[in-house]
Chains A and B, each alone.
Chain A
Amino acid sequence: MSEATLYFIQQLINGLTIGSAYALIAIGYTMVYGIIGMINFAHGEIYMIGAYTALIAITGLATLGVAWLPLILLVALICAVIVSSAMGWAVERVAYRPVRGRHRLIPLISAIGMSIFLQNYVHLAQGSRNIGFPLLIEGGFDFGSADTFRASLSYMQLTVFVTTFICMTALSLFISRSRIGRACRAVSQDLGMANLLGIDTNRIIAATFVIGAALAAVAGLLLGMYYGSIDPLFGFIAGLKAFTAAVLGGIGSIPGAMLGGLILGVSESMTSGYLSGEYKDVVSFGLLILILLFKPTGLLGKPEVEKI
């Protein structure tokens, strides 16, 4: 293969890696929006807290002398998921439930406040400097090389793909088969009716936040390791990107969030690969603006009917 092709494939792989992690975060946005129609602005912060918890767990285990990698990763993952889910639950309880059903802007402003609060909470507790995340999964394999360029798939990237795949499959099964999943779908179709039929909607909404937060925590661990460093602000941009992914795929639709995440990740890595890394954020925000302007329902979303 020529160097140009290899370079392209490499960018594609990088993009899909980032994109699948974005998709994990985007699920949280899309599920919450699908059920109560609000943008959970603090979701990026929950993802960031997941990454911090994972790092704390990893460092703690290393201090204790645990060296078996799968155990470290598993413990970090479980800790991150537990803390983030609790955070997601608490955020919903404190900041969103009391303002549910009020004017559209009120939950959004409350969410922005929550996002600022959580950012500064971690900032004050852990400092504002970025902290290096140890690269636990090293190595990879090359699948082609030209004169000076080698295209490779690292084991880290493979881990991201596999984990995302497992999470997505589990989520799909959960939503389509389980009792809570069925209740989730019912609530997203018609909250009032679901309530009348005896579904505890408050609980289902809380469950939605918890599921979204758990997936965000997984993404936090994965992307933290992949990028190699985290700081209290790193949830903000990632959250915006994931929101873009959710909108791109059609907000409210879970397959849409997956598709949107992948498209966004690839377009971002293509921009940094062929233009300049500085402009990748411009491309994703530009993409967001264009989608909202010309196809607000996204790729797989259902059109919203304005009722008078």
Chain B
Amino acid sequence: MIANNMKHALFCAVITLIISYPILGFNLEARGVDITISGASTFTLVMVALAALVVFAFQLFRDRIMGALAAIPKPGSDSHKEPMEENRRAQIQSWILTGILVLALFWPFFVSRGSVDLATLVLIYVMLALGLNVVVGLAGLLDLGYVAFYAVGAYTFALLSDYAGFSFWMSLPVGALLAALFGLILGFPVLRLRGDYLAIVTLGFGEIIRILLNNWTSLTGGPNGIGGIPEPTLFGMEFGRRVKEEGNTSFHETFGIAYSGEDKVIFLYLISLVLAVFTALVIRRFMRMPVGRAWEALREDEIAARSLGLSRTAVKLSAFTIGAFFAGFAGTVFASKQGFISPESFVFLESAIILAIVVLGGMGSQLGVILAAVAVTILPELAREFSEYRMLIFGAAMVLMMVWRPQGLIPMRRIHIELKKQE
């Protein structure tokens, strides 16, 4: 047994060395046309050796370590506790949510401009993640090209304001509806594909949209993007120092207060907050409507759901369209926040980040997804020195989650009745 383990452990340690030493141990550097190679620092080499040692030790004592881990009682799986009554839980939850909402409303007036800006970005990701949650979490359709709908929303606003002088409020529904239309048109043919094929097709679609945006220079400005996207107005009041558009007034003059650049940022934050809450509420209603239950039914067992009379295409299409709609929403807000968009913002990595948020938070769970969106966006900002490791950690986290906790950090809770155990 030990000899067998020993062999395996040695093999694993050697593999660890092979996959880490050549890539980490040598640095390639391009100087003009010449490439030079240099050995990495001693620290890196020690780390590589250490990694191999850890793998060796782990594999050697694998059985014991696994046994010890299994012996530790899991904190979450305590099923003896009397479950809280459903309506009491709902009451507490609604109180907490109201509290958070009030806090979120007044918070921006007391903090720096940078934090409010970041919070707006967080809210945009919340919208995106909630939208993708419908598609991936509830309906079980892996959409790897979600960012395409985000791009449609953003570009719709940018182009409409550029060519037709549309304002933010006029573009918001148009952008969202257009994104939904794209979802409908794309979804119609592809939704009869099986899970993994669907993922690849949506990925291809996302890339096609990005390449088109990049190369259709006459319309989209190509890689240079589109700038000068207007900010939202409050009943025709602009937030800039001077009024840009004929017929508008400026916010600070109307109310007779001094001009402050922060007003604009806070206003945009509040809009995003309202839209994010709107998104969450609408999707929450959908989840409890027959269509929401149909999404889940189809995800759990397609054949059973179809034999109960659900139309596969209609159900999947509705999820796809609704998901795309909210991506369009988020896209419009994003375009307005940045004032400038280019295809750079809509690469596959962005889709992967949104997917990571949904997966980490717990597929289908709204609360989990919102918390994950907050964490994923804020953590790299807090730990600046780790920000370059952000994607590395994302990737690893996605794998680990799938291996150990595929239901996510905060799994989806469904309304259910539990039978009491007989004594």
Chain A residues at the B interface, C-beta cutoff of 8 Å: 38-39, 49, 52-53, 55-57, 59-60, 63, 79, 82-83, 86-87, 89-90, 94-95, 98-99, 102-110, 112-127, 129, 131-132, 134, 236, 240, 243-244, 247, 276, 278-279, 281-282, 285-286, 288-289, 292-293, 296, 308
Contacts and interface: CB of A to CB of B under 8 A. Distances in A.
A273 B99 CA distance: 62
Point out which of B19, B352, B397 has the most chain A C-beta atoms below 10 A from its C-beta: B19
Point out which of B352, B389, B398, B406 has the most chain A C-beta atoms below 10 A from its C-beta: B398
A182 B149 CA distance: 46
Contacts, number: 177
A63 B37 contact: yes
Contacts of B90: none
A241 B353 CA distance: 22
A240 B23 contact: no
Contacts of B423: none
Contacts of A236: 348
B22 interface: yes
Given A89-B15, A282-B208, A116 B403 contact: no
Contacts of B19: 83, 86-87, 90
B359 A117 contact: no
Interface of B: 15-16, 18-19, 22-24, 26-28, 30, 33, 35-37, 136, 140, 142, 144, 189-190, 193-197, 199-201, 203-205, 207-208, 211-212, 214-215, 303, 348-349, 352, 355-356, 359, 388-389, 391-392, 394-399, 401-403, 406
B273 to A, nearest CB: 30
A83 B22 contact: yes
Contact of A293 (B190, B199, B389): B190
Given A104-B196, A285-B207, A289-B205, A113 B397 contact: yes
B18 to A, nearest CB: 4
The secondary structure that dominates the A interface is helix
Contacts of A86: 15, 18-19
A165 B222 CA distance: 40
Contacts of A116: 349, 352, 391-392, 394-395, 398
Contacts of B189: 293
Nearest to A79: B22
A39 B196 CA distance: 7
Given A79-B22, A105-B195, A110-B402, A56 B28 contact: yes
Contact of A59 (B37, B196, B402): B37
A57 B36 CA distance: 12
Given A53-B22, A59-B36, A293-B190, A279 B211 contact: yes
Contacts of B193: 292-293, 296
Contacts of A113: 356, 394-399, 401-402
A119 B391 contact: yes
A308 B28 contact: no
B211 A278 contact: yes
A19 to B, nearest CB: 18
A288 B355 contact: no
A52 to B, nearest CB: 6
A120 B212 contact: no
Given A63-B37, A131-B30, 12 more contacts: A52-B28, A89-B15, A106-B406, A113-B395, A113-B396, A113-B397, A122-B23, A125-B23, A240-B203, A240-B207, A296-B197, A308-B303
Nearest to A55: B28
B351 to A, nearest CB: 10
